[in-house]
Amino acid sequence: MAQVKSLQTGIKFKDTPIGKIPVDWEVLSLSQVAEINMGQSPSSQVCHDYEDGVPFYQGNADFGPKYPTTRRWCKKPLKIAQKGDILISVRAPVGEINIVPHECCIGRGLSAIRATKIDDKYLYQSMLFHRKALEKVSQGSTFEAINRKDLSDFLMFAPPLPEQKKIAEILTTVDDAIEETDRIIEKTKELKKGLMQRLLTRGIGHKKFKKTEIGKIPEKWDVVKIGEECDCIVPGRNKPKSFDGEIPWVTIPDIIDPKIKESKQGLCVSLDEIKKCGTRVVPRGSVIMSCVGEFGIVAITDREIVINQQLHAFIPSNDLDANFLRYVLILQRPYMEKIATKTTIPYMNKVNCNSIPVPKPPINEQREIINILLSLEDNDSMEQQFLKYLKELKISLMQILLTGKVRVKLH
């Protein structure tokens, strides 16, 4: 991203209907710089969910991060978009943007924009930047939609063509870095999932295995019920009436990272309130797990906390490493779904939770296994932080480059 360094300030501006821009820039409508092709839905008789004809995109539901996902095909398309066209959602949610990866049919929920008198990559970045303005236009209609006239009249900033290309090059470079980081994160997740399955069932360096209720495991391992190796904490039924204490009140939405030490909403309770609720403080180093709705949401407490009824807590014995148990519980999600009480929202009670079977290697091997998995987790965390930085960088660059607040150097 060396291009980011090639910027200059000290610019003269002029007023326009959509804000201040450099004196040598223009404000142009979309119809002045591009062809607008409004979608039209073909007969359902010529559309299929198997490959027959050209890909058919109906609306925002088909969109991906940058390119749409093909779910249906059409033999007799009424409106065609070409590779490289910009797809824009014209029905709620209005303004979402994708790029056409290949010739396709577009339905009523989309419009295809083809650059004619503007750099196509600059047009894509500019429409991403200005899409909130399109959302505002749509809010004036009954069904939150925009039409051809709305698109035709849509105004955007237009620097000289060489500058358009340079701006697009810089922003595309950041986009490419974001895509590559996303790919690395997905590959790491796949590797971790496969490695977890192997390490938590086959261990490290074993050649002899035995059959158990959870499948084949090394001969030297045991299978135990979680209640045999852990003290299980089930929260009281009463919800606190006041949140003016110092001990975090944790719920499922708070579990984002492998370790947890706070309520995202800043909810904390006092010891007196905890006693009134008839619940217990969950000590640091415990494993907490979702037991209502979606199972397998697990974290380790990094300080004393209190949990609500959608969570259970396990305090492992000295023979069971907390991180090892965390990984096992993530892997045991299908088992939990099988034994859960079947109601509108599935749940597991204390008996269910305590009956979950857990493979138990010797403690030294548990730690060898978690060291491998934690190294992947640390790498994933670093990539996630880098991805966050790149996305923030992209927003900042769009705000200064697409408004001319900072100019790019062309030589």
Q: Examine the fold and report which residue of 126, 158, 190 is the final residue of a domain before the chain moves on.
A: 158
* Residue 9 pLDDT: 56
CA distances to 96, 146, 160, 203, 327 from 153, rounded to whole Å, are 18, 11, 21, 64, 55
**Please, are residues 214 and 202 in contact by the beta-carbon 8 Å criterion?**
no
* Residue 8 pLDDT: 55
71 within domain boundaries: yes
216 within domain boundaries: no
Model confidence at 238, in pLDDT bands (50, 70, 90)?
confident
Contacts of 19 (CB under 8 A, 6+ apart): 403
20 within domain boundaries: no
* Residue 70 pLDDT: 96
Q: Cα(15)–Cα(302) distance, rounded to whole angstroms?
A: 54
Token look-up 């299929």 returns 48
β-pairing, 104-106 vs 54-57, is parallel
Model confidence at 134, in pLDDT bands (50, 70, 90)?
confident
Residues 257 and 327 grouped into a single domain: yes
Residues 242 and 166 grouped into a single domain: no
Output b/e per residue, 306-329; b: 16+ Cβ within 10 A.
bbbbbbbbbbbeeebbbbbbbbbb
Mean pLDDT of 159-170: 96
Model confidence at 277, in pLDDT bands (50, 70, 90)?
confident
Q: Examine the fold and report which residue of 158, 174, 192 is the final residue of a domain before the chain moves on.
A: 158
Structural domain boundaries enclosing 283: 222-360
The DSSP element (H or E) to which 161 belongs, if any, is helix 161-202
Residues 151 and 31 grouped into a single domain: yes
Residues 242 and 349 grouped into a single domain: yes
CATH of the domain at 4: 1.10.287.1120
Q: Cα(120)–Cα(86) distance, rounded to whole angstroms?
A: 9
Residues 294 and 321 grouped into a single domain: yes
* pLDDT-above-70 percentage for the chain: 96
DSSP H helices in 13-119: 30-33
Mean pLDDT of 96-118: 96
Strand order in the sheet with 259-260: 230-233, 311-316, 287-290, 298-301, 259-260
β-pairing, 155-158 vs 110-115, is unpaired
pTM: predicted TM-score of the whole model, two decimal places: 0.79
Q: Examine the fold and report which residue of 338, 360, 382 is the final residue of a domain before the chain moves on.
A: 360
* Residue 364 pLDDT: 96
Confidence check: pLDDT of 5 > 60: no
**Please, are residues 11 and 28 in contact by the beta-carbon 8 Å criterion?**
no
Residues 169 and 108 grouped into a single domain: no
Model confidence at 85, in pLDDT bands (50, 70, 90)?
very high
Mean pLDDT of 343-363: 92
- Of residues 144 and 274, more confidence is placed in 274
Confidence check: pLDDT of 86 > 60: yes
Model confidence at 45, in pLDDT bands (50, 70, 90)?
very high
Contacts of 388 (CB under 8 A, 6+ apart): none
CATH of the domain at 230: 3.90.220.20
Which sign, positive or negative, has the C-alpha torsion 69, 74, 77, 83?
positive
Bond preceding residue 248 cis, omega within 30 of 0: no
Residues 348 and 389 grouped into a single domain: no
18 within domain boundaries: no
Furthest-apart CA pair in the chain: how many Å? 78
* Residue 288 pLDDT: 96
Q: What is the pLDDT of residues 375-401, one digit of tens each?
A: 988 888 899 999 999 999 999 999 999
* pLDDT-above-90 percentage for the chain: 77
Mean pLDDT of 320-340: 94
Confidence check: pLDDT of 96 > 90: yes
Residues 347 and 369 grouped into a single domain: no
Residues 299 and 322 grouped into a single domain: yes
- Per the prediction, the chain carries an average pLDDT of 91
**How many CA atoms, within 13 angstroms, populate the side-chain half-sphere of residue 151?**
26
How would DSSP label each residue in 77-102? -SSEE-TTPEEEE-BSSTT-EEE--S
Residues 146 and 200 grouped into a single domain: no
* Residue 90 pLDDT: 94
| Burial class for 234, CB neighbours closer than 10 Å (0-12, 13-18, 19+) | middle
Model confidence at 361, in pLDDT bands (50, 70, 90)?
very high
15 within domain boundaries: no
Q: Cα(155)–Cα(33) distance, rounded to whole angstroms?
A: 10
17 within domain boundaries: no
Residues 37 and 154 grouped into a single domain: yes
54 within domain boundaries: yes
Model confidence at 6, in pLDDT bands (50, 70, 90)?
very low
Residues 154 and 166 grouped into a single domain: no
Token readout for 136 is 């505002």
What's the total number of domains in the chain? Answer: 3
214 within domain boundaries: no
Q: What is the pLDDT of residues 169-218, one digit of tens each?
A: 999 999 999 999 999 999 998 998 999 999 999 999 999 999 999 999 99
